Amino acid sequence: MAGFSTATDEHLIRSNLWSAQLKEVLEDELFAQRYVDMITDFPDGTTLNIPSIGQQSVYNYTENDAIQYTAMDTGNFTFTITDYKASATYITEQMKQDSFYMSRLTASFVPKQARAIAKSMEADVLNKFQDGQTASNPNLINGGDHRFVGNGTNEVMSVKDFAIAKYSLEKANVPLDNLIAIVDPSVEYELQTATNLVNISNNPKWEGIVRDGISTGMNFSMNVYGFDVWVSQNLPTGLNETITGNNSGGAKTTAAGVANYFFSASSDILPMVGALRQPPRVDSEFNKDLQREEFVTTARWGHKLFRPENLVTILTDTDQVS
């Protein structure tokens, strides 16, 4: 009696099997927008001027002398909408008809485009932090370094750098509330493997770091010298600078370094301002000439460093992870 076998009925067997599951690419957490003071009174145009006033001076007065009147220092902060981004894709009619994954593909277009726009905004915020400073310069404010190279061996981050950052913020009259550090994963690695942490004893906090690791998700589980530390893979990289610090050590050079940020995240003194001229907007239509459905997401925004006194940037090398 005749039967079925792979030898005689190969035409009944699919030579390639495809899973019903689609593999999603792992994505990093985005959080930089929470540290931006978003401007809402920006109704039109692309440029906004924000006036600023300084402090009043004081002098020694002598009886019967005429009073000396002095004007307060004033300034003007100019903010501009700079970025216009788009993310777009399409699916052809033939692909709709033939693809087993068609419905899941089209359902993913808008979320994926929104994610791409959000990641671009994240990178823009983190780049504009250091763009507001002068490269290869300590950016002194009241004698405190606001840009310097890490003091660890081979220009990595040291625990001492957290203390220097706090000192510089304090010298600039920044309230030491809600202190935040955003660092590269290589910095997290360096702190977790630093000899003075690994070999520490009789210190429950540091022993907890060695036992459990320094981070849980994106947030450090421990507080370092008052800073809650977050890890980001979107910090500016490829920075080549030599900086001679005032109170952060002598001349040090970083090659292809990364910028790590230290600041206060108190809502009234956030270091960055931003404006969203056009929130992410989705447009879709059927292109009859090309016989395909097209999806486009666009957005316009701008970001700029507003309070340079509330930012310390520490440049560190990333090639010491081994």
pLDDT tens-digit profile of 104-125?
Answer: 888 888 889 988 998 999 999 9
What pLDDT band is residue 222 in, cutting at 50, 70 and 90?
A: low
pLDDT of residue 310: 97
Question: In this structure, which CATH number among 3.90.1200.10, 3.40.50.1260, 3.40.50.920, 3.30.2400.10 belongs to the domain 27-322?
Answer: 3.30.2400.10
Q: What are phi and psi of 126, to 5 degrees?
A: -70, -30
* Model pLDDT for residues 154-181, shown as the tens digit of each residue: 999 998 999 999 999 999 999 999 999 9
Q: Is 195 a residue whose pLDDT tops 60?
A: no
What share of the chain has pLDDT > 90, as a percent?
46
How much is the pTM? Answer: 0.81
Reported confidence tier of residue 269, pLDDT bands at 50, 70, 90: very high
| Model pLDDT, residue 63 | 85
* Residue pair 252/148 in contact by the 8 Å Cβ criterion: yes
More confident residue, 296 or 5: 296
